[in-house]
Amino acid sequence: MTTRIRHPYLDHPGPIPFAHRGGAADGLENTMLQFRRAFNAGYRYMETDVQCTADGKLVAFHDLTLDRVTDGSGLIADLPWSDVQHARVAGKEPVPLFEDLLEALPEARWNIELKAESALRPVLDLIERTDSWDRVCVGSFDEARLVRAQRLGGPRLATSYGVRGILGLRLRSWHVPVGVRRSAVAAQVPESQSGIPVVDRSFLRTAHARGLKVHVWTVNDPDRMHRLLDLGVDGIMTDHIDTLRKVLEDRGTWS
C-alpha cells in the first residue's frame, strides 16, 4: 500500500535505505569519514544520534559516554567541546559536530535521535538557523520529548513515534481503541521486541491508514531485508550498507 507524503523529508522513490550511524559495521560509527563513505555509496538518508556537550555543542554520537567507542572517557553532557573534540572513534576519527555534518553533506537527510532533553532546543535552533526543516527527522524513545519538540517546531518539523506512540499503534493494529499522536510522520521500529513481533501486515496496514511511513531498525541480514520489503515496509536502517544496497538493486528499487 502506498501512502501519501506528509512531509518533504519523506519524498523518496521506493523504500528508503538508511545508513545506520553511517554504517556501523565498519567500526567507525558516527564519524564524518563513515557518513561520507555512505554518501559516496549512494545513500542519501543517514541515521545518527545527537548529544549535547556541557557548553551546548551538538555532537553526533550514540552513547552517553565516550568510553565504548573512543579513546576518551567521560559523560559527554559533563564535558566541554574542547575535550570531546580530542576523542577519536576507534582511536582514529574525531567525533563530529552535527552542524558540520549538515554542512558537509548538503544533499543528505538526517534521522536523528535526541538522546537527552538538553539537546532538544539546540537541535531546533540549529534546524531553524540552517533552514534544514526538510532534511531532518527527529526521533526519541521518549514520547513526551517528541511532543515538546513538535509543539516547539510545529508542522515544519518531521518526527517519528517514541515508545508510547509505537505501543499505541501496535495496540490499534490489534483493534484496541487507544489514542496516538497524529503529528508524527513515521513509525521507526524494531522488527520485534522481547520476542513479540512488531512489524507485520496488520501493523503496516494500521500505520499506512494513518499516513505513516514505517522504517525498521537495525536490519543487517539480507533474508530479513527481503522479508520486510515483501511485507511493504517503507525503509530499512542498516549497519551493512553494501548488503542493503545489493538487496535493493536486486529488487530494482535502489534509487
Task: Kindly list the catalytic residues.
Answer: 20, 62
- The residue with cell 539480507 is 222
**Could you write out the DSSP letters of every residue in 160-218?**
B--HHHHHHHHHHHTT------SS--EEEEESEETTEE--SHHHHHHHHHTT-EEEEE-
Cell (9 digits) for 45: 538518508
Helices 163-173, 143-153: inter-axial angle, 10-degree rounding: 100
Cα separation, 225 vs 240, in Å, equals 11
Cell (9 digits) for 130: 540552517
Cα separation, 29 vs 9, in Å, equals 23
Phi and psi torsions of 197, nearest 5° = -60, 135
CA dist 248 to 92, 95, 204, 225, 243, Å? 31, 30, 20, 9, 9
- Tell me how long the chain is: 255
CA dist 156 to 7, 21, 153, 217, 255, Å? 8, 24, 6, 24, 25
